[in-house]
Structure 1
Amino acid sequence: MKKVNIGGVPEHFNLAWYLTLKNGEYKAEDINLRWHDYHGGTGQMCKGLRNSDIDLAVILTEGIVKDIIDGNPSSIVQTYTQSPLIWGIHVAAESKFKTIDDIKGSRAAISRYGSGSHLMAFVNAKNNGWDLEKDLNFSVIENLDGAVEGLTNGNADYFMWEKFTTKPLVDDGIFKRISNCPSPWPCFMIAVRDEFLRNNEKEVKTILNIINGTTAEFKNIPSIDRTIANRYGQELEDVQEWLSITEWSQELIDEETLNKVQNQLLQLNIIPEKWAYKDLVHKI
């Protein structure tokens, strides 16, 4: 049986992987797929791919594009979630900050440099006409627990994370959400280490076929909204809203969309140059 390691954030977006693993669908195809939770998000997963700790990752688009260009020997093999990610912009519940204008020039909590929370801070700054050099400051907090501690203790001022994941913290009076910032592209990609892909393309194709079968029908799974609410500690109405705006994909990201991502990252000085489509993706 072929052992394959895959990483992703332990959030509702990835429930489809849990369901297919629980059903033994990979083992039925002689694949021992091992899921690894990455609480630190995209930056931590990029490191995992580089170090061969994982073979595949379900990873934020902007983060994996940046890291491949920075030398990560991996390729995008498919879009996982077609819809954008809705990033909530949060401050501590007792914070003096109440609007986007208030946090200009203050410290953004980020899980690590190169992470989604880091890169999207640039997108938010650009959206609001800030000076990208003067108005952005960062405090590394590693993960969501670190953000709670950092904002509460005053070690950072605001934190960008997926809106529905952080909603329970808003409901509990720990965070206050002052705005939202949708990513300007499909949010999650599936990336694979190039070395692993060269030797195991058949297994990767099988894995994609299995997960695609579940994501294509995900919204029709009986009581899926209640399952998500119970598993991830979310309110049922929040889950239903999330399901209504989220679309999965079973296709490879197209060249036009990937160029759009690169154009934005280049404009924000997050990447030094654009790469050819064929050098970022691998069509299976």
Structure 2
Amino acid sequence: MKKVNIGGVPEHFNLAWYLTLKNGEYKDKDINLRWHDYYGGTGAMCKALRSGDIDIAVILTEGIIKDIIAGNPSKIVQTFVETPLVWGVHVADKSSYNKVEDLKGTKAAISRYGSGSHLMAYINAENHNWDLEKDLDFEVIKNLDGAVEGLTNGDADYFLWEKFTTKPLVDDGVFRRIDNCPSPWPCFVIAVREDFINSNKKDLQTILDIINNSTVDFKNIPSIDRTIANRYEQQLEDVQEWLSITEWSQSLIDKKTIMTIQKELFALNIIPEVVDYETLTHKL
């Protein structure tokens, strides 16, 4: 049985992976797919792809593009979630900041440099016409628990994270969400180490076929909203809202979108150059 390591964030977006694993669908095809939760998000998964700890990552689009350009020996093989990620702009509940403009020049908590929370802080700053050199400052907090500690203690002033994941913290009075900042592109892609693609094309295609078969009908799974609410400790109405605005994909991200993302990252000085579509993607 072929062992394959895959990583992703332990969030509701990835429930389809959990369900297909629980059903033994990969083992039925002689694949021992091992899921690894990455609480540190995109930056941690980029590091794991580089080191070979994982073969596949379900990862933020802008983060893996940045890291492939920086030398990560991986390729995007498919879009996973077609719709944008809605990032909440959060402050500590007792913070004196009430609107995004109050945050200009203050310190953003980020999981690590090159992470989604880091890149989206730039997008948020650009959206509000801030000076990207003078008005941005960062505090590395590793993960969501670190953000709670950092904002509560005043080590950082605000934090961008997926709004439905952080909603329980808002409901509990730990964070206040003062704005939303949607990513201007499909949020999650499936990235695979090049050496794995080259030596395991058949197994990779089988894995994608199984997950795509699940995501294409994901919203029609009976009581899926209640399953998500219970598993991720979220309010049912929040889950229903999230399901209504989220669409999965079963195809490779297109050239136009890749170029749009790169132009944005280049303009923000996040990547040093814009590269060819084929440098970032692999069509199976």
TM-score bracket relative to the smaller structure: over 0.9
Q: 1-side partners of 2:202 and 2:137: how far apart?
A: 45
Percent of residue pairs identical? 73
Q: What residue in structure 2 maps to residue 102 of structure 1?
A: 102
C-alpha deviations, 1:99-133, integer Å up to 9, x for none?
00100110000000000000000000000000000
Q: 1-side partners of 2:185 and 2:210: how far apart?
A: 25
Q: 1-side partners of 2:123 and 2:173: how far apart?
A: 27
Q: 2-side partners of 1:150 and 1:111: how far apart?
A: 11
The equivalences for 1:1-284 within 5 A come to 1-284=1-284
Q: 1-side partners of 2:274 and 2:263: how far apart?
A: 8
TM-score normalized with structure 1 length? 1.00
Q: 2-side partners of 1:206 and 1:262: how far apart?
A: 30
The list of structure 1 runs, each at least 4 consecutive aligned residues, that deviate by more than 6 angstroms after superposition, is none
Amino acid at match of 2:278: K
Aligned CA RMSD, in angstroms, stands at 0.3
Q: Secondary structure at the match of 2:270?
A: coil
Amino acid at match of 1:28: D
Q: 2-side partners of 1:215 and 1:6: how far apart?
A: 17
Q: How much has 1:209 moved relative to structure 2?
A: 0.3
C-alpha deviations, 1:236-271, integer Å up to 9, x for none?
000000000000000000000000000100000000
Q: Secondary structure at the match of 1:170?
A: helix
Q: How much has 1:70 moved relative to structure 2?
A: 0.2
C-alpha deviations, 1:193-217, integer Å up to 9, x for none?
0011110011110000000000000
Gaps of 5+ in 2: none
Q: Secondary structure at the match of 2:200?
A: helix
Q: 1-side partners of 2:197 and 2:254: how far apart?
A: 20
Gaps of 5+ in 1: none
C-alpha deviations, 1:74-101, integer Å up to 9, x for none?
0000000000000000000000000001
